[in-house]
Structure 1
Amino acid sequence: MKKYRFGLVGKNISYSFSKGYFTDKFSNLGLEGYSYENFDLQHIDELPELLTSNPEVMGLNVTIPFKQEVIAYLDELDTQAEEIGAVNTIKFDGKRLIGYNTDAYGFQKSIEPFLKSRHTKALILGTGGASKAIAFVLGQLGIGVTYVSRNPDATQIGYDDLTRSVLENHLVLVNCTPLGTYPNLDQKPDIPYTHITKQHLLFDLIYNPEKTAFLQEGKQRGADIVNGLGMLQLQADRAWEIWRQ
């Protein structure tokens, strides 16, 4: 029987949702010979050897911390992925590797039902590869974006800059950091939660646990909260469509 192998490239990814999700998908679709596995790399320069050693691999997802670094190893970028500057899906076209970003699709479909007319400005907590897709989508939706970084540059602000006024003027907060991911359940971004109100919308890309400390802080103050599970399911389904094209 021919094997059809797919997988996830990242660092320390035993927690990942993707393997179980795709394994169940393949089973539910009755696809024999299809498998999905984790490829845990310490450095992105291990990718060429991974591909050489696993010639049956037909498609990959990419996660933290390689969504930007992986671009150097690809032959082509989808237009949207190029504009975003980050890749989370790789399609194998013969020997060519084509990069896509399905995070943007997943995030947009997940956050749109919760957006209100007052949600005109957003703070993005974190500046890694995932944050690039978030900023792209919010920009497409006409929402102003400000990055918050531990090491801000001229285009970002620091956590110490998050005054009451800043929080009052940015009613959407998106956590793109890994803080709060299982098993570090007590961790959360260092923001002044006392300034969160019922006018705010808090979105956390983390999906394990279901309600992070970040989201709990928002919920306690009446804010709308959304975790990353819906986004992950949507981006995974979109990746599957790309692999099958």
Structure 2
Amino acid sequence: MSRLGLLGKNIAYSFSKNYFTAKFEAEQLAYTYENFDIEEISEFPKLLHDNPNIFGLNVTIPYKEEVIAYLNHIDKKANKIGAVNTITIDSNGILKGFNTDCYGFKKSIKPLLEKHHNKALILGTGGASKAIAYTLKKLKIKFDYVSRTPKSTNKFTYDSLTIDDIKNYNIIINCSPVGTHPNVNSCPNIPYEGITDKHLLYDLIYNPEETKFLKLGKMKGATICNGLKMLEFQAEKAWRIWNSSK
């Protein structure tokens, strides 16, 4: 039985495990997919040592950036992004990192984009946000980051955002975990009063299906989208990478 899995922290909710388990059962494939939940990235080498028959992994919060130090190779796109969410492991134990988040995001947002969608705010600065920024560059959409604390790379903090700022950015993408189940009454602290029916609100969260962030946008007439399609697209891309590397 060939083994695949998800590397992360507090990942009992895992989309990936349910998705791939259902896929393998439906297609009668002799694979298993497991959650590998570790407290610190320093535990990663031991995990690999104890599980020598794993040939591929997905990577999620909070290790998309930290895992890079443990890889033997990283593909060009993942290197440019600075984050990895897919790993192949060959028969010699050589680890190579890829990023399929950018592919999933592009495939899921492109059908929603209209001509006036030309400027985006990225809420959050973690590993997932890096793939989003890379994709927006490829789509020639200008963007700025919003973070909790001032940084040289970020134009805004949540405290500094104004209604006029929100009006000026017609795409808002939540890359933070704020609003994830079970904290469904939470949402990023932005001036929702500035959102209009010309806005597109995209939330990488998929559980709940409609976060408070999306609900508040919907109330203003904005187009909304959760992260489920992105996850499905990136998962299938990861599956193709694992199989082409075998």
Asked whether the two chains share a fold, i.e. TM above 0.5, the reply is yes
Residue 40 of structure 2 corresponds to 43
Residue 165 of structure 1 corresponds to 164
Per-residue CA deviations over 1:3-46 (Å, capped at 9, x if unaligned) read 200000000000111101000111111113x1001000110010
1: distance between equivalents of 2:166 and 2:179? 21
Q: Does 1:57 align with 2:54?
A: yes
Equivalence map 1:8-87=2 (5 Å): 8-32=6-30, 34-87=31-84
Identical aligned residues as a percent: 58
For residue 106 of structure 2, what is the amino acid of its counterpart? Answer: Q
Per-residue CA deviations over 1:31-89 (Å, capped at 9, x if unaligned) read 13x10010001100100000000011110000000000000000001110000000000
TM-score (norm 1): 0.98
Residue 189 of structure 2 corresponds to 190
The CA deviation at 1:160 is 1.8
RMSD: 0.7
Residue 141 of structure 2 corresponds to 143
2: distance between equivalents of 1:25 and 1:92? 21
Residue 119 of structure 2 corresponds to 121
Aligned to 1:160, what secondary structure does the other structure show?
coil
Aligned to 1:161, what secondary structure does the other structure show?
coil
1: distance between equivalents of 2:143 and 2:160? 15
Gaps of 5+ in 1: none
Number of positions where the alignment pairs a residue of Structure 1 with one of Structure 2:
242
Poorly superposed stretches of 4+, deviation over 2 Å: none
TM-score (norm 2): 0.97
CA contact (8 A) 2:163 2:192 kept: no
Residue 207 of structure 1 corresponds to 206
The CA deviation at 1:93 is 2.3
The CA deviation at 1:152 is 2.0
